A and B are shown apart, each in its own frame.
Chain A
């Protein structure tokens, strides 16, 4: 299975994603520089966390215009799996691959802590490793995680089962609409999520609740 992590100037969770993918897939992902205009055939592309282009202008806005995003968009349209974590989620919304926007946290401060999540959709390749309604703990670390979309879009996301993760009741760290922590695209092959599953894959982390994202992907791609 061929996996890749896109590296933008300012990405800083690229190595963390690399480690998690390597452990789950048994082989290291390709690390792809943002200036690449072509991508090799891939099964899974990860957009990692960080501050691409310094988050100047808006989080993810400049990365969404980078050369590699054109190639990524083509692959996504062909059904290749794309996982955007944190800044990666912001890039996906800015690129229009996912609906809605990620605004400044309601508390206006950067927040780094473990949060409780509820897995809402277990049909997707990203979440099949979980049980429906499963409560998990995964860290967040962001300044702009306040997910917003208009009611019609939110209703549609919910109606189509595209809310993959929700913050547990009373544990929403950023004020996101309907406690949304992660969403899927219409086709179900693109997931954006604010929490960092790659920071919860090791017994020395806060726990290993993030591991099922990666092991689920391994199973999905093997199936």
Chain B
């Protein structure tokens, strides 16, 4: 600012604002303070995650990566006071029930998404179904168990199938909404080009929409699977638990999450260690599906 500036005289009447940044000004201090708080909040929010991971590795890892890894991964759960034992039936049970849930919810979910996203996205049925799917994502997972108990368990008893159906109820809305989102991202021009060549809508869907939307659909599917693997409330009184390997779908079935729940409240050190080990395995399974979701969802360019 030159003193010789001709306009300066006229402006001298009013105090000139100081435009450069001043670190000690109250508003700057306040801003800095809030920035510090935000950093603190972000770092604090990361603490539980690292604490959980630390506990999983220390408490569960020593057992899992120890000398008796084969027994831990394949052995039967120990009786109340026994030493040793493993979580084999629970791993298999979780995978099978998630498999059943996937076999039901993925085809059904993708088909429904095709209707919602491509065939008739503004019809009354589509709007209602979409709304209900969104409501279902916020549906308390235990109510899926209550529902399946009333419909299946009362008539046919506890079974892997009942557990799978309960998980399917929870997976369905995730699959539907993710698949619909993925398919609605497919450019209209691509579809138009296919219609222009005389394709039926079905052909457009199978040959254009599905292949193009596949990464997004797979991401949704993997996330749904990851979520279902970690669920416990809907299995509590549908699949129950078992101390043996599953041999048919119509019998009570073990799962990792229920094993953790059961063992977490036991007064025996061996069981508590196994609960941590099972938690580590469960988190690893969930993570694998989460990572798959990321890899598959990456646009292939």
A binds B: no
Interfacial residues, chain A to chain B (CB-CB below 8 A): none
Interfacial residues, chain B to chain A (CB-CB below 8 A): none
